[in-house]
Amino acid sequence: MTEKPKRLFDAVAYQLERFPKPDMLVSKVDGIWRPWGTAQVQQIVNRFSAGLLALGVGGNDFTAEGADKIAIISNNRPEWVFTDLAVQQTGAVLVPLYPTTNPMEIEFILNDAAVKYIFVSSAELLQKIRDLQGKVPTLKQIYTFEEIPGAEHWSKITDMATDELLQKVEAIRPTISEEHLATIIYTSGTTGTPKGVMLTHKNIVSNVFNSKESFPFPDAPEQKVLSFLPLNHIFEKMCTYIYLFSGIGAYYAESLDKIGDNLKEVKPDGFTTVPRLLEKVYEKIMSAGNELTGAKRALFFWAVGLGKRYDNVRDGGWWYNTQLKLANKLIFSKWREALGGRVQFIVTGGAACQENLLRIFNAAQIPVYEGYGPTENSPVISVNRRFTPDGVRFGTTGPPIVGQEVKLTEEGEICVKGPSVMKGYYKRPDLTAETVIDGWLHTGDIGTFIDGKFLKITDRKKELFKTSGGKYVAPQPIENKSKESPFVEQIMVVGSERKFVAALIVPSFNMLKRWMKQNNIDFTTNEEAVRNPDVLAMYQKVIDRYNENFNHVEQIKKFALMPKEWGVETGEMTPKLSLRRKAIMEKYKDVVEKIYAA
């Protein structure tokens, strides 16, 4: 393959020609890391495509409406990528879903896309789809990645491959243009009805190579990454193709609970994440630090204090640099070991990351780079740069990547134009027309440029609210600053059309228990703890301290402590671990009303 790749499935041939490797994709099977080499992946994918053709998938109708739709709902694993590549080669379109998606949304998506076949990973997900099968008339069959009694295993499709069908795959592949639809990714709509974002091969491939050039990602067949963000999210999917086109081996974590163990086993060169997971890592480190006593404890918090002051732009001077070097040797080296000891990059996106965390991790020689982009842009618009100290500004999402034109409206809304802007919303030309105007994608995010170069996201346009006094408030900066407190696990600022700003706060119960013990206060249950007058007084001091960073209108005047952590399963968090504000407001409306009635 001499010319630059134009389709996502070209990644396999591209890698096979330049840097064939024994560990293109790797997962843990029966407790052992099992690799799939480039040549093996090519063979599996081609046979998979041939089997899909035998089922009647694909054909000559490559229009958005006419192309066959194949769904997948699974954890991260090599079979996920096999399916993605195999479906693409037939001209069909992949429709990925989060494993945590609720049944009503799944039913809507499968019917909206008229899905013919679906691939699931586990018995639990198999049952989830079987319960809906009668309500999705287009769905012909469910296939599983795991061997499950009474279920059709995906290998039955590869077994259908014949020489004739394999030749047909070879004939179809070159007829699929870069403008052909590669995937439809459904995102939650403002009305609760998911919107199908149509992304072409050109959309995603251009974002892959522009990100490779900008970040940069050099070809590195000796490197490997750990993948654990859901592959159905465009951020992880696009990054997966960066790895494939760069020759970087992709290792799939067993689960979110096993990430710590898997990092030590795989010793990756990097990974992608979301701020919430970084916060969890930091909270775990800080919890371990709080268990220390005497000189060890003092040394630990001395190092953390140095980290908070770290600035990549301003030199801290010889004394600060000498201390930081010592802190890295004595304390931060253990942090790096916990991540496998080889991490050269962590890219975070999906939500705003606390500036505090960025400073501390980078001070600890754990390079964290924040980026930004919506699904509708395939997704990356901007990212902080590797290998260039002047390409990083903490608290920003970095400069726009190559190939992107970025402008701000008078309101500060971020608009982008370029080859990675989506084809549109599936079956929703009305929404497409509202979102893409004269080629400019209106993101719905509010931002500003720092030093004329670094894009900083200040809030979601739809999350800005106005108090009853007519003043606008951006909740995210207040929430991110408040989360710098070790006592605040989660927080949501409220106050739309109210007299003042308030907040719902989930305490860090590990820290709270420790504080209560130190202050001779008995801890019985979370529910009793959040009502304790001494606890409430302590949290008032925490809020007062962080209120100093904001003007009077933005300051949190009252708050309520919540007894349980918010999660995906309980409906308060999205699968990428950001707040579902409407769901939280609805679920806790009585709590909110009580705040304002007092």
pLDDT beyond 70 at 2: no
In this structure, the answer to whether residues 476 and 392 fall within a common structural domain is: no
Enter the tokens of residue 4: 């630059």
Residue in the structure block whose two tokens are 């694909």: 58
pLDDT in tens, 362-376: 999 999 999 999 999
Please give the single-letter amino acid code of residue 452.
G
In this structure, the answer to whether residues 79 and 28 fall within a common structural domain is: yes
pLDDT in tens, 485-509: 999 999 999 998 888 999 999 999 9
SS3 (DSSP) at 203 = helix
pLDDT beyond 60 at 582: yes
pLDDT in tens, 64-101: 778 999 999 999 999 999 999 999 999 999 999 999 88
CATH of the domain at 486: 3.30.300.30
In this structure, the answer to whether residues 455 and 503 fall within a common structural domain is: no
Enter the tokens of residue 526: 């979370």
pLDDT in tens, 509-567: 999 999 999 999 999 999 999 999 999 999 999 999 999 988 888 999 999 999 999 99
Q: Which of 434, 473, 457, 439 is nearest to 556 (CA)?
A: 473
* Orientation angle between helical segments 123-130 and 103-112, nearest 10 degrees: 70
* Per-position DSSP letters for 81-118, written without gaps between them: HHHHHHHHHHT-EEEEE-TT--HHHHHHHHHHTT--EE
Cα distance between the two ends of the chain: 70
The pLDDT, as a whole number, for residue 190 is 41
pLDDT beyond 50 at 394: yes
Domain end point (choices 408, 435, 460) = 460
- Beta-bridge partners for 28: 33
Question: In this structure, what are the phi and psi dihedrals at residue 121, rounded to the nearest 5 degrees?
Answer: -95, -45
The mean of the pLDDT values for the chain is 93
pLDDT beyond 70 at 108: yes
pLDDT in tens, 277-323: 898 899 889 989 989 999 999 999 999 999 999 999 899 999 999 99
CA–CA distance, 574 with 550 (Å, rounded to integer): 28
Q: Which of 104, 114, 105 is nearest to 136 (CA)?
A: 114
The pLDDT, as a whole number, for residue 187 is 87
Q: How many domains does the chain have?
A: 3
Residue 161 lies in a domain: yes
CA 129 to chain centre: 24
Secondary structure in 3-state letters for 156-183: HHHCCCCHHHHHHHHHHHHHCCCCCEEE
pLDDT in tens, 11-60: 999 999 999 999 999 999 999 999 999 999 999 999 999 999 999 998 66
CATH of the domain at 332: 3.40.50.12780
Give residue 140's domain range. Answer: 10-176+215-253
Diameter over CA atoms, the chain: 78
Residue 1 lies in a domain: no
| Angle (CA) 204 205 206, round 5° | 90
pLDDT beyond 80 at 466: no
